[in-house]
Structure 1
Amino acid sequence: MPTTVRWAVLGPGRIARRFASQLPHSRHGRLTAVGSTDAGRAQTFAEEFGASSAGTYEQVLTDPEVDAVYVSTVHTTHAELTLMALAAGKHVLCEKPLAPNHGTAMAVVDAARSSGKVLLEAYMYRFHPLITHVLDLVRHGTLGEVHHVDAAFSFRAGGTGRLFDPAVAGGGILDVGGYPFSFAQAVARASGVGGAPERLDAGGQVSGGVDEWALATLGFTGGLTATIRTGIRMHTPSTIAVHGTAGTVTITDPWLLQPGDAAATIALLGSEPEVVTAGEAHTYALEADALARAAAAGAGEVPELPLDHSLELSQGLDRWRAALGLRYPFETDTADIPPLREVSAPTTGGIPSAPIEGAGEFSRLVLGCDNQPDLAHASALFDAFFASGGTTFDTAYIYGGGLQERLVGQWLRNRGLRDQVRLIVKGAHTPHCDPESIGRQLTESLERLGTDHADLYLMHRDNPQVPVGEFVQALDEQISAGRIRSFGGSNWSLARLQEANTWAQEHQMQGFAALSNHFSLARALDVPWTGCEHVSDPQSRRWLEEQRFPLLPWSAQARGFFTGRAHPQDRSDAELVRCYYSEDNFERLHRASQMAAERDVPTTAIALAYVLAQSFPTFALIGPRSLAELRSSMLALQVELSAEDVAWLDLRDQEEEGSGPTPGPGAGAGESRGSAPRAGA
């Protein structure tokens, strides 16, 4: 059972008073300390609620008598104080929102997961017995098939203070809009359709850089919809209603749920409405005890409200604000967003590197910069990648209409790291795959990136109608001008690549130094986009081995084939089916899954380790959309594959011996990896 958790409050404001007044009703918590930037305020609060000490944030966080902290400051300080507390070895209950945006929230969650401490976002209403009862009704089908949720939380505030200040993330969506949004997501999960809405339509009013009122209609998988409302200049009743085919449940004033007054009305078809109460439930005490239980269990997260739910919610709130065109000054794509933690390359370990001729050392994992929605998200991802030894970033002229290059450039300026990273710049994509476009697009790319050169330039496509010599000449001119260090081709056939390098040698010019085609453990049956090339076939692989030619494989993990999405009977993803569905590839998936289970890593890590373990130089391009995906990809670095492992994963025992699957390398006497029947057998 949990022992007593000694709490400190950081930020002795109005909501902290609610927490401190209810904490004595908890089974496992007591208030020990109070921290504030105002010493007098901290002391007054401590005396009122019986805390034994008061001081600055730093003093409280270094106090060995404090086990957990309740962060209740303004929104823009939540992330910094949470990371300080985690670094000091404290569990954290952080007031909502965890951070003003999803990018910063990702960094906070990433730090929490590596700290071994519990982090909980303080949506206290989720721990009230009535809310638990309503979600159980949904989960057990008592309301039938749930079709719609209606939820609102708004109030009318004065026209001054933090709620009207964009510099501290004011407005209704972040202050109270997360309540109805999170409840709609909780109902969706209880209904079995996931918590991320597929569709979001919104309206509202933005004034003075904050949202004064806003509403949104959410559409979830399976047809479930929700209407949510919020505002700081709009007074409507705070209610929730869940409508199903067999009945409706409603709660008035569902967010504060005052002890002794909270009630839910359940109206089922054919029955009289039933009013359910929950007695003297204290929500702030209940959430404190939930954290205490998780801490005692060494869980790292509170199962009732795991961190993935917080990340899903922060992403949803970002979408809601984006639909209103609302972005705070500190999160624009030209803002100087500081790192939440020190960003420096590791002195030992981390992502290994290898040279590419003329361009220097490149990390063996290359971060694809093609799906970062904003600078906050990009900064969190780039910081973590660089701090792990990732020095190489892959950009392209066409990515996001230039947005991705601008994000990389702004991050480099904010961190001052240009001399410590390698930039891969791609250009000349169809229909602008011609010699003239190389120089023109490169000029624009370098301006966006804020640098005078690319370390490696890759032609994004080939144009067989243009003689290879014309491309080599154009690229050689850029080398002579110092605007690129070396060059290569993305989606070039081996025949054209060899022809280009022969021409370059004959004319005493630098040739192609690298190739970036599709290559993965799952052999490509087709390519996802027109003009793409793969080198998954045995003939191409032999050429790469003989030449020891550097390959930068894109879709190194086969676009999700190894994530658990692929199954012979699931043909919902037409691209995955077209490019990878074959008996041999499903056998490769089976073998990779077996090896992953043996080595206690995800199957995707085995697939990526296979790419890195080739007998020719590989620099795998990865495109994580979150820090969790980045961490998952990096597990591949912990996997050592022998040549026998690589051959077994790739079914070369069958190709060379003409036999069925055999025990994999490392299987001792009497042991075998075994093999399930091939897909379709």
Structure 2
Amino acid sequence: MTETKKVRWGILGPGSIAKAFQGGVAGSKHAELVAVGTRNPEKPGLATDFPGARVHNGYDALLADKDVDAIYIATPHPGHAEWAIKAAEAGKHVLVEKPMALSAFEIDAIFHAHRKAGTFAGEAFMYRLHPQVKKLGELIASGVIGEVRMIQSSFGFSMGKFQPQHRLFANDLAGGGILDVGGYPVSMSRFIAGAAVGKPFADPIKVSGTAKLNAEGTDDWAAAVLTFENGIVAQVSCAVMANLDNVLRIHGSEGRIEVPDFWFAGGNRDQGVGRIDVIKGGKTETISVNETGHVYSFEADGASEAILAGRHEFAAPGMSWADSLGNARVLDKWRADAGIEFNIEKPAKRVNTLSNRPLASGGTAIPKRSIPGLTKQASAVALGFEDFRTFSSGAILLDAFWEKGGNLFDTAFVYGSGYTEKLFGDWHKSRGTREQSVLIGKGAHSPLVYPDVIAKQLTQSLDRLQTDYVDVYFMHRDNLDVPVGEFVDAMDAEVKAGRIRGPFGGSNWTKERMDQAIAYADKTGKQRPGALSNNFALAEMLDPIWAGCVTSSTPEWKAWLNDRQVTNFSWSSQARGFFTDRAGRDKTDNEELVRVWYNDQNFGRRDRAIELANKLGHSPIHVALAYVLAQPFPSIPLIGPRTLYELDDSIKAFDIKLTSADLKWLEDGK
């Protein structure tokens, strides 16, 4: 008889939930517990609670155990991302207790680490692997209650009294009901909404949440409404200071389904029979999957089976990577609506990277280059990060960019109504990176394009940026009704005041206007405008993306830039998705792509980029970025990745070295 292959598990953080998981492993087919990592190896009861497991002194020792294949992470919430990432670096698979991390941004970073390591990573919503959930999905798909219209789902209990140091309340431990138990009703609602349309899950198109906060700033009880594209509305609630009814109710056009305590399959922590009540026409039919296995054994086997099969994520109905990210985005919005941002997410306390290490310098994945008029070396690409609205989310990307060798950052007075500047100010202050950074500032955007606005907005920008100078400065737009010399005078005054310490110029300025500005500066002894920030890409911008935008991708512009050797910091350097699968001659649903980029010349260039990419083993978008980097004039692309994967993908362009002949062939096929 062939022995069943098993995954050797280690538990990181042997608390109460870890004991429950141990019980599940003991009752599983494909998992065995071999080790435990604890910061208190002398703690009484470890041998009893985790029989047969080696006890390691510290979490790092557990990760170093060569006889451990996979790690179950059961620390308090703030440690989840750190140890999941470190486990990936150690080559270990992970099952992370919910919530997988504090935000969708942190979860995405975990998945990125495991994608690179080739390891499994799963979020431990144990109920999703129980047969009850599969049966529930089948009932919804069968139409037993008609069309699903509303979902009500709650998970709440009362701790009796407020205990500020307890993990369920403490701000520094990311306490509160939303993160501790709110994910259950949200994940179930998304599962039901998906089952109603034949999908593993569905993400809501609208989330509106609220909560009652305590003295720690965490939620005692909370509720949210989720609206789905197919019209389903879900009401979800959670609490750590209120005994809710804890019943899942699914209301359909012909009846309803009720499931008590769905996360325990209607039973207790150890045994669940899988009870589902179908109520139609005044009658109740109770359906049971008659499953008596340990409720945690199903996730232990689900994760182990995925690992043994070489998969990186759970199979449905377990939480896939996309499912976990979607769930976290709902919780992020719920928290934001309730006004909950933990102190450990703010710059004063989040002084290390997500893996809880000091920020490292000296990376070489992104090369450095000289910029005319600037004494510092700058990275060959600049990072734009205006899509982030919290320090904890933006810092993940900023840290990664810096550690790869990036030190050039693109900000502007108008980005995020000033939040991008504030984010960078908080980041460099907490990391101590300002003097090694090259900071781009921009001001005087439409409609306020006047000389006297420059100093006023720069003062506000420097206050937000928590610095007394920018390295590069651009006027964000031009105003042809104002003599160009007045703009040069205003920017030169800031140079003399030490508030601009490198080149300045215009964003979305014409060749003619730049020539006039340079001539005026030479005539009057002012600093020459030495930089531009216009669109430049392999695809020519046919129609301005936004009013007042200027492209420098035409032959005339390229000749001008080459002749003047003016540095261009190019925005939309990869043509906003034109070189990805989002575009194509037969894909006309994206109005912006069609309006701005679609013509025969650009599609010819796209075809050649695809051809060259296939030859080099890269993607067309890498070729498009390499084209901008390889220009015979100083050309610095601005990139705006939203995830670590997108950042890593962008810098693959540095592996491509294009010759002048390559550039010409990409442009005209000759």
Q: TM-score, normalised by structure 2?
A: 0.90
**CA distance in structure 2 between the partners assigned to 1:49 and 1:400 by the alignment:** 50
**Aligned with 2:332 (options 285, 299, 318):** 318
Q: Which residue of 2 aligns with 1:94?
A: 96
**Aligned with 2:116 (options 106, 110, 114):** 114
**CA distance in structure 2 between the partners assigned to 1:593 and 1:237 by the alignment:** 57
Q: Which residue of 2 aligns with 1:430?
A: 446
**CA distance in structure 2 between the partners assigned to 1:285 and 1:572 by the alignment:** 46
In terms of mean alpha carbon deviation, does 465-474 or 636-645 score higher?
Answer: 636-645
Deviation at 1:123, TM superposition (A): 0.9
Letter in 1 for 2:558: R
CA-to-aligned-CA distance 1:177-228 (integer Å, 9 cap, x gap): 0111122233444436874322111233122211111111112234333221
**CA distance in structure 2 between the partners assigned to 1:334 and 1:483 by the alignment:** 26
Q: Which residue of 1 aligns with 2:180?
A: 175
Q: Secondary structure at the match of 2:42?
A: helix
Change (3 A) 1:426 1:563: same
Deviation at 1:156, TM superposition (A): 1.7
| Percent of matched pairs sharing the same residue | 39
Q: Which residue of 2 aligns with 1:529?
A: 546
Q: Which residue of 1 aligns with 2:8?
A: 6
Alignment partner of 1:442 is 2:447: no
In terms of mean alpha carbon deviation, does 44-53 or 312-321 score higher?
Answer: 44-53
Change (3 A) 1:187 1:647: farther
Alignment partner of 1:79 is 2:91: no
Deviation at 1:648, TM superposition (A): 4.1
**CA distance in structure 2 between the partners assigned to 1:375 and 1:391 by the alignment:** 18
Deviation at 1:138, TM superposition (A): 5.0
Question: Is 2:347–2:430's contact at 8 Å kept on the other side of the alignment?
Answer: no
Question: Is 1:90–1:117's contact at 8 Å kept on the other side of the alignment?
Answer: yes
In terms of mean alpha carbon deviation, does 22-31 or 560-569 score higher?
Answer: 560-569
Q: Which residue of 1 aligns with 2:418?
A: 402
Q: Which residue of 1 aligns with 2:353?
A: 339
Q: Which residue of 1 aligns with 2:573?
A: 556
**CA distance in structure 2 between the partners assigned to 1:154 and 1:433 by the alignment:** 54
Q: Which residue of 2 aligns with 1:239?
A: 247
Q: Which residue of 2 aligns with 1:206?
A: 213
In terms of mean alpha carbon deviation, does 197-206 or 492-501 score higher?
Answer: 197-206
Deviation at 1:248, TM superposition (A): 4.8
Question: Is 2:131–2:274's contact at 8 Å kept on the other side of the alignment?
Answer: no
Question: Is 2:348–2:430's contact at 8 Å kept on the other side of the alignment?
Answer: no
Question: Is 1:345–1:389's contact at 8 Å kept on the other side of the alignment?
Answer: no
Deviation at 1:552, TM superposition (A): 1.1
Question: What do you get for the CA RMSD once the two structures are aligned?
Answer: 2.8
Q: Which runs of 5+ in 1 are unaligned?
A: 657-681
**CA distance in structure 2 between the partners assigned to 1:148 and 1:589 by the alignment:** 46
Letter in 1 for 2:236: I
Q: Which residue of 2 aligns with 1:677?
A: none
In terms of mean alpha carbon deviation, does 413-422 or 130-139 score higher?
Answer: 130-139
Question: Is 2:150–2:232's contact at 8 Å kept on the other side of the alignment?
Answer: yes
Q: Which residue of 2 aligns with 1:668?
A: none
Q: Which runs of 5+ in 2 are unaligned?
A: none
Q: Which residue of 2 aligns with 1:679?
A: none
Question: Is 1:94–1:119's contact at 8 Å kept on the other side of the alignment?
Answer: yes
CA-to-aligned-CA distance 1:544-567 (integer Å, 9 cap, x gap): 233333211111222233343335
**Aligned with 1:252 (options 228, 242, 260):** 260
**Aligned with 2:480 (options 450, 461, 464):** 464
Letter in 2 for 1:35: G
**CA distance in structure 1 between the partners assigned to 2:295 and 2:609 by the alignment:** 46
Letter in 1 for 2:191: A
Deviation at 1:457, TM superposition (A): 0.8
Question: Is 2:178–2:331's contact at 8 Å kept on the other side of the alignment?
Answer: yes
Q: Which residues in structure 2 correspond to 1:508-547 (within 5 Å)?
A: 508-547=525-564
Q: Which residue of 2 aligns with 1:662?
A: none
Q: Which residue of 2 aligns with 1:671?
A: none
Question: Is 2:4–2:29's contact at 8 Å kept on the other side of the alignment?
Answer: no
Letter in 1 for 2:74: S
Deviation at 1:383, TM superposition (A): 0.5
Letter in 2 for 1:290: G
Deviation at 1:581, TM superposition (A): 3.2
**Aligned with 1:219 (options 227, 230, 246):** 227
Deviation at 1:142, TM superposition (A): 7.2
**CA distance in structure 2 between the partners assigned to 1:186 and 1:619 by the alignment:** 45
Q: Secondary structure at the match of 1:230?
A: strand
**CA distance in structure 2 between the partners assigned to 1:192 and 1:538 by the alignment:** 51
Question: Is 2:11–2:18's contact at 8 Å kept on the other side of the alignment?
Answer: yes
Deviation at 1:132, TM superposition (A): 2.5
Change (3 A) 1:630 1:221: farther
Change (3 A) 1:587 1:265: farther
Q: What is the number of equivalent residue pairs in this alignment?
A: 652
Q: Secondary structure at the match of 2:262?
A: coil
